[in-house]
Amino acid sequence: MACDFFELATPGVQGLHPYLPGKPVEELERELGISNSIKLASNENPLGPSELAMAAVRDSLSESCRYPDANGFKLKQALVARYGLEEKCITLGNGSNDVLELIGRAFLQQGDEVIYSQHAFVVYMLVAQATGAKAVVTQAKDWGHDLDAMTKAITTKTRVIFIANPNNPTGTWLSQAELEGFMAQVPENVIVVLDEAYTEYVAEPEFANGFVLQRQFKNLIVTRTFSKAFGLAALRVGYAAADVVITDLLNRVRQPFNVNVPALEAATAVLQDDAYLARSVEMNRAGMAQLEQGFAQMGLSWIPSVGNFITVDCGGESIPVYEALLREGVIVRPVANYSMPNHLRVTVGLESENSRCLDAFNKVING
C-alpha cells in the first residue's frame, strides 16, 4: 500500500494553504496574451531601487563564491547608527516575514493562543496554524485594530499578539499613546509583535515609534523591512528589534545564512541614501492624492491609508472588477481572504501607472 505522505505532516501544516502573492506581470501576459501590463498588487516601491544599493549589489557579486556574514555585522552597525538600536538586540531575516516565522518557532506550540485582528496581515494566521497554536481573531474597529478587544482576549494561554502598524491591507494606524496604554495592560509573559513594514511612509505626528516603545517594554518585538520604502523587495531583507534575551532565542532558530550577500550590502547602502527615501515618500504622497481624487470622481469610497496602498470599495463583489481590470492589463490585489469581499487593494504607483489604473477602473465600473 502506498504511503499517505499528507498524513505524515503535522495537523497545523495539513490545514495550511500556501500564501498567494500578487499575480506577476509575466503570468498575466502569458495567460491573456497581452503586453505592457502594470502591477499595483504587492505594495512594491515603483521608483526602482536606490543607485547606491545597486552599486553595492554589483560590487558584492565578485564574492558570490563566499557565504554571507552570518551575523550581518555591517548591516547591524548601519541600523545602530540610524536608529540608535543595540546590535545585540537585532535579528536579521529573509524579509520581515522570515522574522515573523522565527517568532512562531521560538515561542509557539500546540495549545498556545495567538491574538491578531480581523483584516490583519494573513501571515499571522499562517504562523499560528503552522505551529499548532490557536488563532484568536478580534473584531476590527473602523477597519483597524481594536486594542480594547485585544486586551480582553488575553488569557493564560496567550503567548503572542500580532499588531500591524500601519495595518495591511487596510492602511489604518495606531498612535504612540494608544500603544503605550495597550502595552501597559499586557502581561509581561505575553510577547507582542509590532509589525512596522510601512512605517517610513507615515507622516502623522502622533504615529507610534516602535523602537521607542521597545525600549519601554521588554516583551515587545518590533519588525521592519527593506521591501517597501527602501525598494529592495526582490532581495528579501528585514529585521527585528527586541530584548536581548528574546533576540538570543530568535537567533537560535534562525538559519545561519538567511540573508544573502547582495541583500546585506544593498540594505546597508540604502540606509545611507536619504535622498532616495525622501523621493519615495514624496512620490507616494502625491500618488495617494492622485488615486483618492480619481476614486472620488468615480463615486467610489476607500479606507483612509497611511501606507503605500489604498483599499477601495467596489460597491459590490470585487472579484468581477479584479478580473476585468486584469483584461485591461492592470493587476491589483483582491482581499476577499481578509473578509473584505467588496474591496480591492491598489498599490500607489508612478503617476502614469496611477492614471492608467484609474482609467481602467472607470471603464470597468462605469462602462
pLDDT at 183: 98
**Cross-sheet strand order for the sheet of 134-138:** 90-93, 238-241, 220-225, 191-195, 158-164, 113-117, 134-138
| The CATH number fitting domain 51-270, selected from 2.30.140.10, 3.40.640.10, 3.30.450.30, 1.10.10.10 | 3.40.640.10
C-alpha 156: how far from its chain's center? Answer: 29
pLDDT at 157: 98
Residue 21, all three cell numbers: 502573492
pTM of the predicted model as reported, rounded to 2 decimal places: 0.92
CATH of domain 20-48+275-366: 3.90.1150.10
* Residue 36 backbone phi and psi in degrees, to 5: 60, 40
pLDDT at 31: 74
> Where are the chain's structural domains?
20-48+275-366, 51-270
Report the SS3 class of residue 238: strand
According to DSSP H, which parts of the chain are helical? Answer: 5-8, 11-14, 25-32, 51-60, 73-83, 96-107, 122-131, 147-152, 176-185, 210-216, 244-253, 261-270, 274-297, 319-327, 351-366
C-alpha 179: how far from its chain's center? Answer: 19
Question: pLDDT of the chain along its 367 residues, tens only?
Answer: 577 756 766 776 766 666 566 667 677 767 777 778 899 999 999 999 999 999 999 999 998 999 999 999 999 999 999 999 999 999 999 999 999 999 999 999 999 999 999 999 999 999 999 899 999 999 999 999 999 999 999 999 999 999 999 999 999 999 999 999 999 999 999 999 999 999 999 999 999 999 999 999 999 999 999 999 999 999 999 999 999 999 999 999 999 899 999 999 999 999 999 999 999 999 999 999 999 999 999 999 999 999 999 999 999 999 999 999 999 999 999 999 999 999 999 999 999 999 999 999 999 988 7
Report the SS3 class of residue 347: strand
pLDDT at 22: 65
